[in-house]
Amino acid sequence: MKNPFKNIYLKDRLFLLLLIVAVGFVVSFWLGFLFFFIQVALCAVLALVIVDVMVLFQRKDILRAERQLSEQLSLGDENNIKIRIESDYNTPVFLQIVDELPYQLQKRDLFFKLNVPTSGENTLTYTIQPTERGEYEFHNINVYVSTALGLIQRSIVIPANMIVGVYPSILQMRKHEFQIFNKSAVNQGVKKLRRLGNTNEFEQIKEYVKGDNYKHINWKATSRRNKLMVNQYQDEKSQQIYCVIDKSRSMKLPFEELTLLDYAINSSLVMSNIALRKGDKAGLITFSNKIGAQLKANRNAVQLKRIMEILFKQKTDFLESNYDLLYQSIRQTVKGRSLLLLFTNFETMYSLERALPVLRRINKNYLLVTIFFENTEISDASEMECEDVSDIYLKTFARKHTDEKKFMVKELRNQGIQSILTRPENLSVTTINKYLELKSRGMI
């Protein structure tokens, strides 16, 4: 093999050697400088980490958290949960918060970020929507703290175990109470009906205005005042209002994460509160294949609380309803003329025909209102646009089902039984309107 440097002169070889030495020196100098810079940077980062650690881990109780919520949560409603954070850090801190929620909510990804000022406090607010009644157990509050440097994160577990009950919707109860009794409220869906007569309970004597019943003119008061005066009457009070709840398997059907039984329970609480506020007596009966809870109608101060506690414990029995047993129980429990609001569900005409003889017997002695549910998914399918043959079959079946439901209402009314067919979300408003209508007509 030929030597490539054979033809290079000696001075050229010396120059090449010096060039190589010079390049090597420059490279080693820069490598040394870079290594020194890296060392300085690492020392600086290490110093910042030490500072961050010293700031974050000053003491154990430097950060405090408290969960704030109502003692009673409302079923099916958005309930506010607040977490109040207090910090003794002498610098602003950045928090990542994981709240350990009850297993019924099935939420494992609830993650929040919050900033807390120097030696200050802040409050985090979020909502939960429980879909089951019962006891809910909250666990620890996990807080991950970091400073503005963000190099280190401290994990703090704050014990915050607490058990709260999820009760029938108290929020709905207050909402409808406000709509009914607040005269300045703009009501949506709830009818405020006032009856100016047709009862035996006298309210006041007032000056006649157009539209008043001329049969109620008070001639003695008219002669004294030299003006037409009329007697005004008000709704009779202390009437018995019973909510009768079917707990059979037909009430287990779901709608927007709640069962029909849950809707009936929420509406029963709303209706009981309205009846008590109206001066009537409220009672409760639950049944399926056997009689469940029975609470005689009363209007004392603790009646609503008793109703709420009973409704809190009700569960579906997954069995068929025994209407004969219900009739016997009503005869033993309910004395005198009463309004019975029966929350049930008839999915087929056959199920109604089985219960109809008993419903007629109940209606002879009491004023019975049968309330059952429209299957919203089937009703929506009956109005769908058809694109193929399968859609036509589906729409035909849905239309047949909705027509059968309407026929049930007609059949009940033909038998002299008041009836309501309603969507689950409209149940409370529809029931209140029916109650107010019956009172305005003097039927109870």
Q: Give the pLDDT of residue 28.
A: 66
In this structure, are 378 and 393 located in the same domain? yes
Q: Is residue 328 part of a domain?
A: yes
Inter-residue contact 323 to 355 (CB < 8 Å)? yes
Of 341, 332, 408, 329, the residue nearest 368 (C-alpha): 341
The stretch 65-92 carries a mean pLDDT of 92
Q: Which of 88, 96, 97, 98 is nearest to 56 (CA)?
A: 88
Same domain, 139 and 251: no
Q: In what order do the strands lie in the sheet with 162-167?
A: 72-74, 162-167, 134-138
218, 234, 250: which is the final residue of a domain?
A: 234
d(CA 390, CA 349): 25
- Strand 141-146 and strand 154-158: the pairing is antiparallel
In a domain, 406, yes or no: yes
Alpha carbon distance 425, 21 (integer Å): 89
148 with 206, same domain? no
What dihedral do alpha carbons 167, 426, 246, 340 form, nearest 10°? 100
Query: Which of 123, 150, 167 represents a domain boundary (last residue)?
Result: 167
Residue 84: what pLDDT? Answer: 94
In a domain, 142, yes or no: yes
Number of H helices, E strands in the chain: 10, 20
Clarify whether residues 70 and 126 are in a common domain. Answer: yes
Q: Return phi, psi of residue 357, to 5°.
A: -60, -40
In this predicted structure, the answer to whether residue 187 has a pLDDT above a threshold of 80 is no
Q: Are residues 343 and 216 in the same domain?
A: no
The answer to whether 239 touches 298, Cβ cutoff 8 Å, is: no
Residue 79 counted as domain residue:
yes
Residues 6+ apart with CB under 8 A from 440: 193, 194, 195, 235
* Whether residues 382 and 261 fall in one domain: yes
Supply the DSSP string of 74-104, one letter for each residue.
Answer: ETTS-EEEEEEEEE--SS-EEEEEEE---GG
Same domain for 88 and 104?
yes
Distance CA 102, CA 157 (A): 17
| Per-residue pLDDT, 203 | 61
Query: For position 226, what pLDDT does the model report?
Result: 82
Residues 329 and 399 in one domain: yes
Token pair for 27: 């490279």
Is residue 326 located within the same domain as residue 406? yes
Strands 154-158 and 121-128: unpaired
**Given the DSSP bridges, would you call strands 141-146 and 93-99 parallel, antiparallel or unpaired?**
antiparallel
Q: How far apart are the first and last CA of the chain?
A: 123
Position 17 scores a pLDDT of 62
Q: Which residue has the higher pLDDT, 402 or 2?
A: 402
Instruction: Show the domain range for 230.
Output: 196-234
Locate all alpha helices (DSSP H) within 93-211, ordered by sequence. Answer: 170-181
Mean pLDDT of 420-429: 92
Calculate the alpha carbon distances from 5 to 10, 369, 421 in Å: 10, 115, 107
> Which has the higher per-residue pLDDT, 219 or 76?
76
Classify residue 187: in a domain, yes or no.
Answer: no
DSSP string, 294-319: EEEEE-STTHHHHHHHHHHT-----S
0.85 exceeded by the pTM? no
Contacts of 276 (CB under 8 A, 6+ apart): 282, 299, 303, 304
| The last residue of a domain, from among 115, 149, 167 | 167
Is there a single domain that holds both residue 277 and residue 401? Answer: yes
Is the model more confident about 227 or about 321?
A: 321
Q: In what order do the strands lie in the sheet with 141-146?
A: 111-116, 93-99, 141-146, 154-158
Residues with Cβ within 8 Å of residue 81, at least 6 apart in sequence: 67, 68, 69, 99, 125, 126, 127, 128
CA dihedral of residues 433, 436, 438, 439 (deg, nearest 10): 180
Residue 300's domain is classified under what CATH number?
3.40.50.410
12 in a domain, yes or no?
no
pLDDT at 305 over 90: yes
Q: Is residue 307 predicted with pLDDT exceeding 70?
A: yes
| Confidence check: pLDDT of 143 > 80 | yes
Structural domain includes residue 179: no
Q: Rounded to 5 degrees, what are φ and ψ at 27?
A: -65, -45
Place of tokens 């980062």: 45
Q: Mean pLDDT for the chain? A: 84
Name the domain count of the chain. 3
pLDDT tens across 217-254, in order? 888 878 888 888 887 765 556 789 999 999 998 899 88
Report residue 426's pLDDT band, with 50, 70 and 90 as the boundaries: very high
Q: Which residues pair with 128 in a beta bridge?
A: 79
Contact between 79 and 67 (Cβ < 8 Å): no
Q: Is residue 86 part of a domain?
A: yes
Looking at the structure, do residues 365 and 383 belong to the same domain, yes or no?
Answer: yes
Q: The domain that contains 108 carries what CATH number?
A: 2.60.40.10
- 403, pLDDT greater than 50: yes
* Distance between CA atoms of residues 338 and 211, nearest Å: 31
Q: Mark whether 244 and 230 lie in a shared domain.
A: no
Instruction: Report the pLDDT averaged over residues 267-286.
Output: 94
